Amino acid sequence: MSYYNLEAEQSVLGSIIIQPDLIYESLLTEEEFFHNDHQKIFGAMVSLRDKEIGIDVVTLSNEMKDELNDVGGVSYLLQLSQSVPSVSDFATHERIVKDRYLMRTGMRTIQEILNSGVNDPKELAAELMDLSESLSDQSRSADGFKHISEGIMEHSDEIDRKKYEGQATGAGTVGKDLDEITGKWKKQTLNIVAARPSVGKTAFLLNNAVRNGKDGLTVAIFSLEMPDMQLYDRMIAAECNIDGHRVEKGELEDHEWEKYTLGLSELSQLDIYIDDRPGLSVQEIRSAVRKLKKKCPELIVFIDYLQLIKGGSKYSSKNRNEEVGFISSSLKQMARENDCPVVALAQLSRTVEQRQDKRPMMSDLRESGNIEQDADTITFLYRDDYYNAESEKKNIIEMIVSKNRNGRTGTAEMVNMKNYGKFVNYDRAHIM
């Protein structure tokens, strides 16, 4: 197949000269034309449209000025208007131009990937799959309108579901008050849970993963920091109410073996998948999630943690903020394209330690990039006894919801049973 179609490009331009209003329907951009002359002509048409000047041979000639001779002069513009078989085929010819552009883009991007020095076949496969998805999305009809009657019926179904199930849609957390504030982790959302090291981020993630598994969701966990055996230690300790240090050492007391066996049996029934490969790129994560989504429609994704994800070989260590921004926007896209919640842990910078009030703020997100912009919810975990040995809030975690795109903000409190790595409700919330 040819990477361009001369006749289709001519027909698109000629149709607009014959019927100027078609410029308002066109979904093409200047760069999507293969021929440089056609790019210039279409660019002049767009310029006239933006100036609200009618398009014809005279106005085009005046707009193009010196470039007119470069494209063949007035005679070529007249030739374009005479080469149109039928204006009614405008959309078909425009589609051909678009498809050829996507072919050229795909081939060029493949060559760039091959020339980028990627030497990991898994990263190469993920990059190519990402490209495939991108081209597929672009090749779909650009008319994304849905008639209100369709949306209203879907809304009615959703209201009925809430009425009979008695709860908001989305994946619930282990915090009853936290759910009340956030409205749960909804599909197609990126949810950031951030804290300083050793505050309890991973334990919170695992508690929620088990909760969602028990609710019937398929759970995907990407553990970039910790091997899967350590995750099993923590999940078993929390599920069985056994001291985590004894689980880790395998030194269970006699009365704990029965709890261990029962807990192990319950956990093994849950639909939880763990990928503990270190140094994963965001393309590899998206690829893995797409595959799992095909098998398991009701999915939630957890990532521990965001700043350990790589943006791919095109980023260097010198532009880490830009890379993290690319990663956060990619995770948001992943949530939307797979119709699932994505929950990513994030580290906070040391600036927290320099303030008298150690409660985290948005500016404390390390290498924040576009995290604040991309996230639908941002929840900070704060332990007062982490900083103040005399704190009255022993073993109390504050869940500070600082951003909630579709709901309220506020603070919920939970009890952190540190020996078990377990979060339990405290029934105290401050909702704004």
Domains plus CATH for the chain? Answer: 6-112 (1.10.860.10), 166-431 (3.40.50.300)
Which pairing describes strands 299-304 and 272-275: parallel, antiparallel, or unpaired?
unpaired
pLDDT exceeds 70 at position 290: yes
pLDDT in tens, 44-54: 998 888 788 89
pLDDT of residue 190: 95
Is the pLDDT confidence value at 220 over 70? yes
| The pair of three-digit structure tokens given for residue 95, joined into one six-digit string | 């589609």
pLDDT: which is higher, 135 or 87: 87
Whether residue 431 has pLDDT greater than 80: no
How far are the Cα atoms of 197, 289, 377 from residue 211, in angstroms, in the given order?
23, 20, 19
Q: How far apart are CA 131 and CA 109, in angstroms?
A: 8
pLDDT, residue 183, reads 86
pLDDT of residue 159 exceeding 80, the answer is no
Q: Which residues is 273 bridged to in the sheet?
A: 220
- DSSP summary character for residue 349: P
- Mark whether 52 is an active-site residue: no
Q: Report pLDDT for 161.
A: 62
DSSP string, 170-233: SB--S-HHHHHHH--B-TT-EEEEEE-TTSSHHHHHHHHHHHHHHTT-EEEEEESSS-HHHHHH
For residue 212, pLDDT over 80 is answered with yes
Give 158's pLDDT tier (boundaries 50, 70, 90).
Answer: low
pLDDT of residue 21: 87
Q: What is the mean pLDDT of residues 300-325?
A: 80
Tell the residue number behind the tokens 């197949």, with chain if given: 1
Give the pLDDT score at 413.
Answer: 87
Among the listed residues 30, 133, 180, 225, the single catalytic one is 225
Alpha carbon 49 to chain centroid, angstroms = 35
d(CA 231, CA 169): 28
Mean pLDDT over residues 137-166, rounded?
Answer: 59
In b/e form, how buried is each residue of 277-315, taking b as 16+ CB within 10 angstroms?
Answer: eeebbbbbbbbbbbebbeeeeebbbbbbbbbbbbbbbeb
Least confident of 54-58, 151-155, 301-305, 364-368: 151-155
Residue 25: pLDDT band with limits 50, 70, 90: confident
pLDDT of residue 140: 53
Give me the mean pLDDT over the 35-41 stretch. 92
Q: What pLDDT, in 10s, does the model give residues 347-379?
A: 888 877 777 787 888 888 766 657 888 899 999
Sign of CA dihedral 313, 205, 252, 258: negative
Rounded to an integer, what distance in angstroms lies between the CA atom of residue 34 and that of residue 53?
26
Q: In what order do the strands lie in the sheet with 218-223?
A: 272-275, 218-223, 299-304, 342-347, 190-195, 377-383, 396-404, 410-417, 422-431
User: Model-level pTM?
Assistant: 0.68
pLDDT of residue 189: 93
Mean pLDDT (the chain) is: 82
Who contacts 198 (Cβ-Cβ below 8 Å, separation ≥6)? 386
Asked if residue 186 has pLDDT above 70, the reply is yes
Q: How far is CA 115 from CA 110, 112, 118, 240, 305, in A?
A: 9, 5, 8, 52, 30
Q: Is the pLDDT of residue 242 over 60?
A: yes
What is the pLDDT, as a whole number, of residue 38? 94
Q: Which residue has the tokens 């951003």?
A: 403
User: What's the rounded Cα separation, in Å, for the pair 364 and 291?
Assistant: 34
Q: Calculate the CA dihedral of residues 403, 409, 410, 411 and round it to 10 degrees.
A: -50
